[in-house]
Structure 1
Amino acid sequence: MTHSALGSTKAAELRSTRDLRSSGSVLVLVAAAGLVPLLTQNPFYLHLGVLIYLNAIFVMGLGIIARVGQLSFAHGAFAAIGAYSSVHAVMGLGMPYLAGVALGAAVAGMLAAAIGWIILRLRGVYFVLVTFSIGELTRLLLLDFPAISGGANGLTGVPPASFLGFELASKTSAYYYALIAAALVFVFAYALVRSPVGRAFAAIEENAALAEGSGIDTRSFQVLAFVIGSAVAGGGGAMLAHYIGFISPETFNLHFSIAIIIMLVVGGRKSLAGPIVGALFLTPLPELLRATVALQHILFGFILILALRFLPEGLAGIRVYRRKSTGVENK
């Protein structure tokens, strides 16, 4: 085995160990989060919890795409596609809520498959620029077709989530629903990265050329990661639209995509717990600084710079980073 192959194998093993530790931490966090409604019925805190869990879903979807070394600025576009698909299916066709969410995820995934097969020939900054263009093009197209999107005014009166005929309209029920949904997405992500597909993802991220030489169809796996991550975004977008009861082309604009990327970077893109940590720390900021939108953007940018400079592994990777910086590594 070559030195590069040995390095890739060691890196994959280290990531596997890190993911295992992350899963234990997340289980503790989920158990603690389940106690929140028992401690407070304050609508603001429960609303904030719902947003944290929904953002965690978005970031986990982006994290799957990052597992093959790509970063998408079109995440908001696929969230919007999933949201509008679900809203029209539920309001226009009378589909059950869960079927609408599943349809939203499926439509987003299918479009991602068609687009991904074309754009994933690109690498690095070129891929980023194309996904940026896709995100903006989607927003502009939605604005130009008000019959679908409601135009700049959006669509109101979106029904809340429901299960077996019961509407999850209260903050407490919405809180637990969002928590369970985020936990299920985490379990799915954990199973994915521990599977042969996940190991192929890790090999591609570590060294795409070496993975290709080892017989891995890198392009197909990158498209698969793009499809899965975008489908998760579509499902999350559908859930958010039904939670807030409203959707417009600006709901999932460029700022939304950038915020999700920053959450991933700050939380730690190489850790399963990273998306959850990033969502937990950064979701409250826009809610607490709602009166000063410009300050939100400045603060997010400042946090991103600090994370890139001082926390290259993100908040979830602080222990790993400290071991590396001191020359101590667990065997």
Structure 2
Amino acid sequence: MIAPSVSRRKAAGAIVTLLLVVAIAATPLFVANPFVYHVGILVGIEALLALSVHLMIRIGQLSLAQAGLMGVGAYVSALVTRDLQAPFLVGFSLAVVTPGLIAAVIGSVALRVRGAHFALLTFALGEAIVLLFVEFVFPFGGNNGLMNIPSAGIGRWTAAERPEFYLLVLVVLVVAIVYCRGLLSGRSGTILQGLLDNEALLQSWGINALSWRLLVFASAAAIAGAAGSLYAHYLGFISPEAFNVTVTVNALVMNVVGGLGFLAGPVLGALLLVPLPELFRSALLYQQLLYGLSLLLLMLFLPRGLAGLLRKGGS
């Protein structure tokens, strides 16, 4: 009797969370305000980056290279579409594949270590990527970055305006969430949970733990690359400072605020933290102080994050 009751409470909480996210995601479509669309697009892009960080957390690894890998996706997509005149879909596909390949190659060595050592290695990777963007004026533009990046579009459909681009971001985010949901559930989810709980037991069953870690790292990098491509084609300009380690830390904070143990956590964290600075814009002098205090209060009173609160409310 207890197990079905717990299952029903979890299902109810998941439905509450899903309905809330869907309602918020649909808001820009009904409000039809350019600024609301702008915030919605940034929320979607940041949610993708936070989702890539979330995947690594779910196997007990903290990757500080995610913003750098996002930068790889942004620069690849920008250069391919701007300089080679390739269609957006080609640039976007390469922006997803290239960071994934980099993560697979680097991860084959880096994932053999754990904890702080892995975090330091990925920090170095992220900083090295940004340094490459700065030092190589050709083709990356150095500190000045890249300008005149073309708008996104598929065939005759273009996403030059904010409503269309918002729909594009929404589709990419939904696809990423569905993929992560599949990866974190069923047999693969059990294996990934085993990596976190008892890797030695998992290996005694003949499961190659390193291969699964590589899959997760490459998947996380690919999602970060997708976020980078969307970021580049939305703003039309990118520069190295947009992909430093601070951006990764912000994505980590989104996971903590949203709920580390929940797939909806990164999305809920982005929904709250991306628009939050706008609330303090009138108090520009104290903006960072108010933002920091808000985060502190959220972590004190919502230790399981927003997703944990919604799951509790759903029960």
* TM-score for the superposition, normalised by structure 1: 0.84
Alignment of structure 1 residues 93-242 onto 2, 5 Å: 93-242=84-233
- Which of 54, 58, 67 is the equivalent residue of 1:76? 67
1:88 aligned to 2:79? yes
Alpha-carbon separation, structure 1, partners of 2:265 and 2:108: 28
Alignment of structure 1 residues 41-52 onto 2, 5 Å: 41-52=32-43
What corresponds to 1:64 in structure 2?
Answer: 55
Alpha-carbon separation, structure 2, partners of 1:183 and 1:130: 30
1:255 aligned to 2:246? yes
Partner of 1:32, secondary structure, is helix
Q: Percent identity?
A: 36
Task: Pick closer, same or farther for the CA change 1:162–1:137 going to 2, 3 Å.
Answer: same
Q: Are the equivalent residues in 2 in contact too, given 1:22–1:271 (CA < 8 A)?
A: no
What amino acid sits opposite 1:115 in the alignment? I
What amino acid sits opposite 1:216 in the alignment? I
Per mean C-alpha deviation after superposition, the further-off stretch among 310-319 and 175-184 is: 310-319
Deviation at 1:197, TM superposition (A): 1.8
Deviation at 1:122, TM superposition (A): 1.2
For the aligned residues, what is the CA RMSD? 2.8
Deviation at 1:137, TM superposition (A): 1.6
Question: For structure 1, which runs of at least 5 residues remain unmatched after alignment?
Answer: 1-9, 324-329
Question: For structure 2, which runs of at least 5 residues remain unmatched after alignment?
Answer: none
Deviations 1:224-265 (A, max 9, x none): 111100111011111111011111111111211111111111
Deviation at 1:33, TM superposition (A): 3.9
1:278 aligned to 2:269? yes
What amino acid sits opposite 2:145 in the alignment? G
* TM-score for the superposition, normalised by structure 2: 0.88
What amino acid sits opposite 1:84 in the alignment? Y
Q: Are the equivalent residues in 2 in contact too, given 1:313–1:321 (CA < 8 A)?
A: no
Partner of 1:216, secondary structure, is coil
Q: Are the equivalent residues in 1 in contact too, given 2:254–2:270 (CA < 8 A)?
A: yes
Task: Pick closer, same or farther for the CA change 1:216–1:177 going to 2, 3 Å.
Answer: same
Per mean C-alpha deviation after superposition, the further-off stretch among 127-136 and 102-111 is: 127-136
Alpha-carbon separation, structure 2, partners of 1:59 and 1:102: 20
Deviation at 1:303, TM superposition (A): 5.2
Alpha-carbon separation, structure 1, partners of 2:261 and 2:239: 32
Per mean C-alpha deviation after superposition, the further-off stretch among 72-81 and 22-31 is: 22-31
Task: Pick closer, same or farther for the CA change 1:212–1:113 going to 2, 3 Å.
Answer: same
Count of equivalent residues: 311
Deviation at 1:287, TM superposition (A): 4.5
Q: Are the equivalent residues in 2 in contact too, given 1:22–1:273 (CA < 8 A)?
A: no
